[in-house]
Chains A and B, each alone.
Chain A
Amino acid sequence: MALPKELVAASATPLVLSILAQGESYGYAIIRRVRELSGGEVEWTDGMLYPVLHRLERSGLIESRWGASETGRERKYYRLRREGKRVLAEERRNWEMVNGVLGRLWEDSACSISTKLCPSGATA
């Protein structure tokens, strides 16, 4: 099942920043990495990733340089900047918060269906 377009768009920034937090990379490798990690569920069209990278670069979160690839062709590499690290930490807090809230809600609703599904210590 593919993710809805809005969710893909919303998660683009934290995904890119998180991948670049692990080291310098380039567009193609970033897309491959996202596909790999999501088991193919977050399938980006390329037309979407590059403008995201350029937008992040213009807002100063990442920086780029042109360098040679293994094949000798010029390739554009992206790297995280300090401001990007700060925004990534903020994104992380937000996503963990949303994740936590939804997790709690779903645990509660599962609990109301069957007490066996209640989180330890909680009652229906």
Chain B
Amino acid sequence: MFNLNEAVSIWRDSLKDADALSALDVAELEGHLREEAARVEALGLTSEEAFVIASRRIGSPHALNIEYEKADPSQAYRTRMYWIVLGMFGYWALNSLTSTVTTSVFLLGSGGYLPLGTAWAVYLLVWGLGMTVTFRVLVLISRGRLTSITAAIQNRYLRKYKLLVDVLVLAVAVPLAQHACRLLMTMSLYHSGLHNHQFDANLVAFAALVTTVASPMAIGILLYFLYSSRRVSAE
């Protein structure tokens, strides 16, 4: 039995490599696809036949990508960067949430509030669950699902304040995310009581060095992609 929603989601999947299309562009085309399929179906065809005709009329992913890229070459870079940033923040947020919960449970266990066996079981369960959810969400986003959420983010903030977002991401968000990660690491070390032990000063120095080197490198790489794509669009 033919299912239109399933067919549309397969069609959406086929556009996931078309970098020149933003999530909003895909949402706009999806509306078109559904409307054309409904019109053709009303002429007396089955919904499957109508869908095949409508998706053929809309054009192949490759052809669509070429047309969209011609109209706005910088969109391809923007799409890629937003996914990287969104993935980075998404992973970081979900990962910290999981760590917070698991660390608390573990502390309760080691503090004697919970039997140690139970604490370990809950720890592993929450950790496994958290990681599964994290990766599932990332996979869904990368496949162009969750478009209602991602399209809303792109529509409300990213498209409206394009330049501002670029600057924010480059100058503020990347180092900020790194500092937040470090702060979280330090706090969890402190709360888990490790500060009473002598933990490796060399390791901390190494972590600081990596962060210091990684920040400018990340910014440099992003800047390179930003300006190389701007140059292409100016040509």
Chain A interface residues toward B at CB < 8 A: 26-28, 31, 45-48, 50-52, 54-55, 58, 66, 69, 73-76
A2–chain B nearest beta-carbon distance, Å: 14
The answer, yes or no, to whether B145 is at the interface (CB within 8 Å) is no
B residues in contact with A54, CB < 8 Å: 25, 68, 71-72
A59–chain B nearest beta-carbon distance, Å: 11
B33–chain A nearest beta-carbon distance, Å: 8
Say whether, besides A28-B36, A66-B155, A47 and B28 are in contact (CB < 8 Å): no
Task: Sort chain B's interface into a size bin.
Answer: 20 to 34
Determine, out of B43-51, B59-67, B88-96, B180-188, the stretch whose residues face the partner at the interface: B59-67
B residues in contact with A69, CB < 8 Å: 31
B residues in contact with A27, CB < 8 Å: 28, 31-32
The answer, yes or no, to whether B27 is at the interface (CB within 8 Å) is yes
Contact string against A for B residues 79-102, beta-carbon threshold 8 Å, 1 for contact and 0 otherwise: 000000000000000000000000
The answer, yes or no, to whether B197 is at the interface (CB within 8 Å) is no
Residue of A nearest to B38 (CB): A71
Residue of B nearest to A58 (CB): B72
Q: Which of B24, B35, B70 has the most CB of A within 10 A?
A: B35
The answer to whether A51 touches B31 (Cβ under 8 A) is no
B residues in contact with A76, CB < 8 Å: 24, 28, 31
Residue of A nearest to B64 (CB): A47
A residues in contact with B31, CB < 8 Å: 26-28, 69, 73-76
Residue of B nearest to A26 (CB): B31
B residues in contact with A48, CB < 8 Å: 59, 67
> 4 closest pairs, A vs B, by CB?
A51-B71, A47-B59, A47-B64, A47-B67
A residues in contact with B59, CB < 8 Å: 45-48
Residue of B nearest to A76 (CB): B28
The answer to whether A46 touches B71 (Cβ under 8 A) is no
Instruction: Compute how far the CA of A120 lies from the CA of B71 in the bound complex, rounded to whole angstroms.
Output: 47
B residues in contact with A28, CB < 8 Å: 31-32, 35-36
A residues in contact with B24, CB < 8 Å: 76
Instruction: Compute how far the CA of A84 lies from the CA of B179 in the bound complex, rounded to whole angstroms.
Output: 47
Q: Which of A48, A50, A52, A54 has the most CB of B within 10 A?
A: A50
Instruction: Compute how far the CA of A55 lies from the CA of B63 in the bound complex, rounded to whole angstroms.
Output: 17
Say whether, besides A28-B36, A50-B25, A66-B155, A45 and B70 are in contact (CB < 8 Å): no
A114–chain B nearest beta-carbon distance, Å: 44
11 contacts between A and B (CB under 8 A): A28-B32, A31-B32, A46-B57, A47-B64, A47-B66, A48-B59, A50-B67, A54-B71, A55-B71, A73-B34, A75-B31
Residue of A nearest to B75 (CB): A54
Residue of A nearest to B151 (CB): A74
